[in-house]
Amino acid sequence: KAKSQFIANATHEFKTPIFSIKGYIETLKDGAINDSNVNNIFLNKIYNQSKRLEKLFSNLINISKIELNELDIKFEKVLLNEIMIVLSETFSESANNKGLNLFIPNTKDMIVLGNKELLQTCFINLVDNAIKYSKKGTISISIKNLNQYIQIKIIDNGIGISEKYHNQIFERFFRVEDSRSRNLGGAGLGLSIVKHILLAHKSKILLSSALNHGSTFSFNLKKT
């Protein structure tokens, strides 16, 4: 049952960009290619939809590879501050444009054991969501030095998640309210990727949230 549900969801997600690309190409073939008012606009739309397809595809492949243990993950010493800098470069502007405060700590020389690329994806997905699902307030990253671990929290005062969805939101394609996040462009894969990446790091993502009271996603990473 889970397998057919997965196929139904995947088909649905792939259908929109494929039909959209096909539609624009047909319109171009029917003459719009010679209309300088629209031809570049349509080409750009085709390009954007193909990028969306590519992202969907690579996200799904990565989830499956981690699940099947096929991803050759190289563990290395990861300087957390390098990830913090990427987060700041990636999100400062979008948070600012929405009137949100984004607090990213200086983690100095804190080092964890992991795969930098994958851990970066993990942080990016969580901060991206925190911004997407907040209309006001602050998004902050809290980093705490524990005995053998570094504890990480991504905290927002956004729209929050009702407790009844807390287990499901980490499933592939799951969105709390279909229309709400569809408008924001998500495919419901971000948290599933986070869950799988952390599993590959022998860690677990935890959620504490209530509807209209913000969300905190937390996880531990092993120190070297």
Q: Which residues bind ligand ADP (CB under 6 A)?
A: 125, 129-130, 133, 156, 158-161, 169, 174-176, 181, 186-192, 215
Q: Which residues lie closer than 8 Å to 52 by C-beta, 6 or more apart?
A: 17
| Minimum CB–partner distance for residue 28 and ligand ADP (Å) | 30
Q: Which is nearer to ligand ADP, 116 or 195 (CB)?
A: 195
Q: Taking a C-beta distance cutoff of 8 angstroms, is the pair 150, 110 a contact? A: yes
CB-closest chain residue to ligand ADP: 186
Q: Which is nearer to ligand ADP, 83 or 155 (CB)?
A: 155
- Nearest-angstrom CA–CA distance, 89 and 112: 21
Q: Which is nearer to ligand ADP, 87 or 130 (CB)?
A: 130
Q: Which is nearer to ligand ADP, 150 or 154 (CB)?
A: 154
Q: Indicate the burial class of 201 (C-beta count within 10 angstroms; 0-12, 13-18, 19 or more).
A: buried
| Minimum CB–partner distance for residue 18 and ligand ADP (Å) | 19
| Minimum CB–partner distance for residue 36 and ligand ADP (Å) | 36
Q: Which is nearer to ligand ADP, 81 or 216 (CB)?
A: 216
Using the structure block, give the residue that is written with the tokens 């959620």.
Answer: 207
Q: Taking a C-beta distance cutoff of 8 angstroms, is the pair 56, 187 a contact? A: yes
| Minimum CB–partner distance for residue 52 and ligand ADP (Å) | 12
| Minimum CB–partner distance for residue 133 and ligand ADP (Å) | 3
